[in-house]
Structure 1
């Protein structure tokens, strides 16, 4: 055998070994990575031959599979409303799956390892197991209210309602949205539509929170020597240390008409200068610690895609001052905003939010139920009670206050020169175990003059007013 043949043979052997190693790695260690990748459509072609389980909320079926006379299944969404698109997601042989249809795919098609006991006889006989059903925590009536409140005025944004004592997600509306029926026919139009309707704006989009972040700044202050009667600057403007930048109160006003105000007054009137002063005094490390305690910077595994939010770098007092009022690099989602209010409502204990309530088999027998879990203790009960009193005072000073018993905070967040602000409202009703977080992007229909009290608060109050409780 001459040298060239030996070299070629050796090279071929090496390539064969590399191929075998690669196949072994893929087959043994990367099955889940590739099989569960939403771009892998093979698993979704299987839906046509599988009695895929339902997604439902209470007695309302949100997603189901039905077979034609040839035994070929198709997926449909009986409520036929865009209110549910970001929750169920879509299922397509062409474009894969999203949201619950993707994250719960193995449950819905009956192949999840947790279903082995239920599908034991099917494994013995070799028959295709029926899919299991996924029940979500959402209140259908509340979901529609939240969606209508956002979309009827033509707003872009999101609204989330949580049960503070458990973390149950009671509503999760996103605008713009889409109807998951016939997703293949809508795909090109949805890709071109402004506002990214395929995104779950309630969980995947993070925005600067503005003054609702003052809840966290106040929590840090109350744990570092401040109390509701502590005095802070009420000046109309404050210069950030080491800069020529001045931060002002809303409309350049002196806070409550006084150069010195209590924390209660500063919170109820949302005076920026007071919170810049307190935030810089508390410092970056404490501010970050309390933000993390309230869940900022952390993703939630709820079955739909979530974004972590961020508090950003704070290398100096000037950046701390800006961050203290929810500007600079601070960002959060509507889900996190609702969770912030829910944490105060729950005595300072943050519960892990969850969307999947139960898994049932094809005959509706319960397989498992989600149990509430504590995520963190953001503040102790005394601080939570103090925050609650401050939020009561804030609600009484918010546009449209009508004598309700809600505790709230509004926010108006700048996000670019000349652009209308994003406007926020977070609140809770202590009598009915519900908290809300609402954000309307770019000022809704009020443009640059918009405030959270004018635009977002009516949405939040409508959701709270509509909740019947009893979940």
Structure 2
């Protein structure tokens, strides 16, 4: 072979090798990314050409797919759409997925590894492939009660089973209709998306677990009280409770809600301080304990952790190394302390469950189209943030809040309800948020609840957690207990 032919052969071999390497890279290495790319119309058509599995609550489908005469094959639709919007999420040709639609996508579209044998059976029998049904832990009565009681107010409600971690209710308002984003006419879907994003109140945000985090106000006193009890303070031990507390290193003075006096003697027991939600007592307690101890207790309850339920929650936050006045304010749930309603419900649930905190979860089971259980969630312990003794002490203190304290509006005849109110300031020119968290029955807890009503709801600047949020929690607890 002469030199020019040899060179041409070498170039040809190199070109073939480059072509083989490139095609191998695209078909094997890049394939997963290309398949999941939202711009890949073939993947989109293939996914929509299969019947997507339903999302089920209480035996009824709240999201399902039906065949349509379009290139996409099936149309996704939602019943009781706004009630469950932040649970199901949306399934959109243009904007992808959210909520359970996103978190359980491979199960719903039938491509999950756990559904391999079901897919193999479909292949052998020639049966039309279909996604699995995802059954949720939501209690329909609790969900409806939370929706109705929250009314037109902005806020969120989360309810848990303290003994398992199962989420019984998850409501966020304002809500939206996922059907607006499920259509196949791109111009209409785009218009609806724009309108939802420009709507007042951010209806697409799931305030219950992953919207903006909130200052918890006095519901955080449960964490401070837990830290004090774990440090050796007794429920009946006297602590300072002045009418006003000068904050160290500053000229600021902290008072109690409405300028009230917690105790004529200037001291009161830890139990009474929680019952009447005494700001000065807990701020001084925070100074005595120190930010490090309170921060460690908050972390033990789950602050700083993103929970996967299977949607991912936002992290609740306790500030690291605050100075003395900031520590006093942090101890009463102000300054930079931020929480999700899910986190607040988890604190109450751990107290109700004897100090054992369970992992929260929203998916009960996954079933194939033959109704066989493919996977089922088993309750699991997340940790032990407090001792059983501390939990018992906090239970008694929270009973006092509802029986003869700031949370009387949560009382249920014939049922022992334990709770804690909160009124969280955001700024001087905006009404405070109203909080309430509780569990019942206290002697056999079946439900733990957290409620937030943004900026006082219908009562505005006159709102308190006891007046606005406690009745909502009561309605949700009654729905489960009845």
CA separation of 1:418/1:454 partners in 2, compared to 1, >3 Å: closer, same or farther? same
* Matched residue, 2:4: none
Residue correspondences, number: 453
* Cα deviation code 1:248-280 (max 9, x no counterpart): 111122213331111111110000111111112
CA separation of 1:229/1:20 partners in 2, compared to 1, >3 Å: closer, same or farther? farther
CA separation of 1:119/1:391 partners in 2, compared to 1, >3 Å: closer, same or farther? same
CA separation of 1:235/1:204 partners in 2, compared to 1, >3 Å: closer, same or farther? same
* Matched residue, 2:97: 97
CA distance in 1, matches of 2:22, 2:245: 64
CA separation of 1:36/1:356 partners in 2, compared to 1, >3 Å: closer, same or farther? farther
* Matched residue, 1:108: 108
Alignment of 1:360-375 (within 5 A): 360-375=367-382
User: In terms of Rg, which structure is larger?
Assistant: 2
2:95 matches 1:82: no
* Matched residue, 1:414: 425
CA separation of 1:166/1:400 partners in 2, compared to 1, >3 Å: closer, same or farther? same
* Matched residue, 2:7: none
Alignment of 1:258-297 (within 5 A): 258-297=265-304
CA separation of 1:114/1:31 partners in 2, compared to 1, >3 Å: closer, same or farther? farther
Any conservation in 2 of the 1:133–1:361 contact (CA below 8 Å)?
A: yes
Any conservation in 2 of the 1:88–1:99 contact (CA below 8 Å)?
A: yes
Q: Helix, strand or coil: the match of 1:50? A: coil
Any conservation in 2 of the 1:165–1:433 contact (CA below 8 Å)?
A: yes
Structure 1 segments unaligned to the other structure (5+ residues): 1-9
CA separation of 1:49/1:97 partners in 2, compared to 1, >3 Å: closer, same or farther? same
2:199 matches 1:193: yes
State the 1:312 CA deviation. Answer: 1.6
Any conservation in 2 of the 1:47–1:73 contact (CA below 8 Å)?
A: no
Measured on the aligned residues, the alpha-carbon RMSD in Å equals 2.7
CA separation of 1:412/1:34 partners in 2, compared to 1, >3 Å: closer, same or farther? farther
* Cα deviation code 1:29-85 (max 9, x no counterpart): 6766675578888654434310111100121111111113679211111x2331100
2:471 matches 1:462: no
2:398 matches 1:400: no
* Matched residue, 1:356: 363
Structure 2 segments unaligned to the other structure (5+ residues): 1-10, 182-188
CA separation of 1:37/1:252 partners in 2, compared to 1, >3 Å: closer, same or farther? farther
Alignment of 1:19-34 (within 5 A): 24=25
* Matched residue, 1:440: 453
* Cα deviation code 1:378-420 (max 9, x no counterpart): 1011100000000001112124254541000000001112110
Any conservation in 2 of the 1:138–1:171 contact (CA below 8 Å)?
A: yes
TM-score by length of 1: 0.89
2:175 matches 1:204: no
CA separation of 1:34/1:463 partners in 2, compared to 1, >3 Å: closer, same or farther? farther
CA distance in 1, matches of 2:47, 2:400: 54
Any conservation in 2 of the 1:135–1:359 contact (CA below 8 Å)?
A: yes
2:161 matches 1:163: yes
Any conservation in 2 of the 1:256–1:269 contact (CA below 8 Å)?
A: no
CA separation of 1:235/1:373 partners in 2, compared to 1, >3 Å: closer, same or farther? same
Alignment of 1:291-440 (within 5 A): 291-396=298-403, 397=405, 398-400=407-409, 402=411, 404-430=415-441, 431-440=444-453
Q: Helix, strand or coil: the match of 2:423? A: strand
CA distance in 2, matches of 1:42, 1:287: 54
2:186 matches 1:182: no
CA separation of 1:39/1:257 partners in 2, compared to 1, >3 Å: closer, same or farther? farther
TM-score by length of 2: 0.88
Any conservation in 2 of the 1:87–1:304 contact (CA below 8 Å)?
A: no
Any conservation in 2 of the 1:209–1:331 contact (CA below 8 Å)?
A: yes
Q: Say which is worse superposed, 172-181 or 399-408, in terms of deviation.
A: 399-408
Any conservation in 2 of the 1:142–1:466 contact (CA below 8 Å)?
A: yes
Any conservation in 2 of the 1:54–1:64 contact (CA below 8 Å)?
A: yes
State the 1:244 CA deviation. Answer: 1.4
Any conservation in 1 of the 2:367–2:374 contact (CA below 8 Å)?
A: yes
CA separation of 1:326/1:122 partners in 2, compared to 1, >3 Å: closer, same or farther? same
Q: Helix, strand or coil: the match of 2:461? A: helix
Any conservation in 2 of the 1:51–1:109 contact (CA below 8 Å)?
A: yes
State the 1:124 CA deviation. Answer: 6.2
* Matched residue, 1:6: none
State the 1:125 CA deviation. Answer: 7.9
* Matched residue, 2:243: 236
